[in-house]
Structure 1
Amino acid sequence: METSFTPIQALLGGSLIGLAAVALMTFHGRIAGMTGILTGIILPKGDWNWRLAFLLGAIAAPAMILLLTGMSLPLQSDIPSWAIISGGLLVGVGVAFGGGCTSGHGVCGMARLSTRSIAATLTFMATTFVTVFVVRHVLGGF
């Protein structure tokens, strides 16, 4: 499986994620953790409007890129559907036990120098490295 690195797009995307996180903290005093935002929509906590706007913006962004540039984002994968669904469920369980997701801990928590978030992000990354190694080199990949 070949992976292409696009540094300009990565820099622009990362900058926009950082800008959104700073804006959300500045204007609402909230951390931009996607899991917490989604949970607040599923189990309303009284601040539903900004959560819905944030998620709609995250969903609408790829459509805007397509409309403005004509460049579509590839949505194909050689990974079987059962593996994607299983992985999503495992991530959901991990988020529940870890008290947050990579966006909340990795983007916002580490920027605040939170020891808990740094430990959680290191755990996420170590687990990712081990999983990729096992799937690609021990199990033979997908």
Structure 2
Amino acid sequence: MMETAFTPFTAIIGGALIGLSAVMLMWSVGRIAGISGIVAGAMFEGGNERSWRLVFLLGLLVGAFLAALFTGALIDVKSVASTPMLIVAGLLVGVGTRMGGGCTSGHGVCGVSRFSQRSLVATAVFMASGIVTVFVLRHLLGEGV
């Protein structure tokens, strides 16, 4: 079975940076840091709307790259799922995001912190779905073991 080490220090730093970026985005452009909405707007909006969205997304990619570069975190990462499984998973996440009216960053980070009832329900559904998915894949189908 695959094990993951819990590192509270990096988790606290990462969570604080996510919260800070959400606050900075709300303060600077008055928008919620929901990544699915930011990506959709970057694809279909124009002008200033597209610009800030592209800068935000570029920051996500650059930040992840720099974190991996300085920590070596991605050196040993190997997918335990097959390519078809990853494609199906990605499509299901996309469909779920549209059905839920947002993603974990919009609902789970920004909505829950505002005590939005819709976001509390959506986040509970995200978490329950994740728990059921891991149980089915690992214990019933034997994937990723």
- TM-score w.r.t. the length of structure 2 is 0.91
Over the aligned positions, Cα root-mean-square deviation in angstroms equals 1.4
CA distance in 2, matches of 1:8, 1:76: 24
Check 1:80–1:48 CA distance in 2 against 1; reply closer, same or farther (3 A cut).
Answer: same
Distance 2:73 2:109 in 1: 26
> Which amino acid letter does the alignment assign opposite residue 92 of structure 2?
L
Matching of residues 110-129 of structure 1 within 5 Å? 110-129=112-131
Match of 1:25 in 2: 26
Per-residue CA distance 1:13-42 (angstroms, 9 max, x = gap):
111000000000111110000000000011
1:58 maps to amino acid? L
Q: Matched residues in 2 for 1:65 and 1:100: separation?
A: 26
Separation (CA, whole Å) in 2 of partners of 1:13 and 1:83:
28
Query: For 1:135, which of 130, 134, 137 is the aligned residue?
Result: 137
Matching of residue 59 in structure 1 with residue 61 in structure 2: yes
Report sequence identity in percent: 52
How far apart, CA to CA, are the structure 2 residues paired with 1:29 and 1:115?
Answer: 21
Q: Is the 8 A contact 1:62 1:73 kept in 2?
A: no
Which runs of no fewer than 5 residues in structure 2 stay unpaired? none
Measured after TM superposition, the shift of residue 70 of structure 1 is: 5.5
Correspondence for 1:13: 14
Shift of 1:98: 0.5
Checking the alignment, whether the CA contact within 8 Å between 2:42 and 2:53 is kept in structure 1 is yes
- Pairs aligned (count): 141
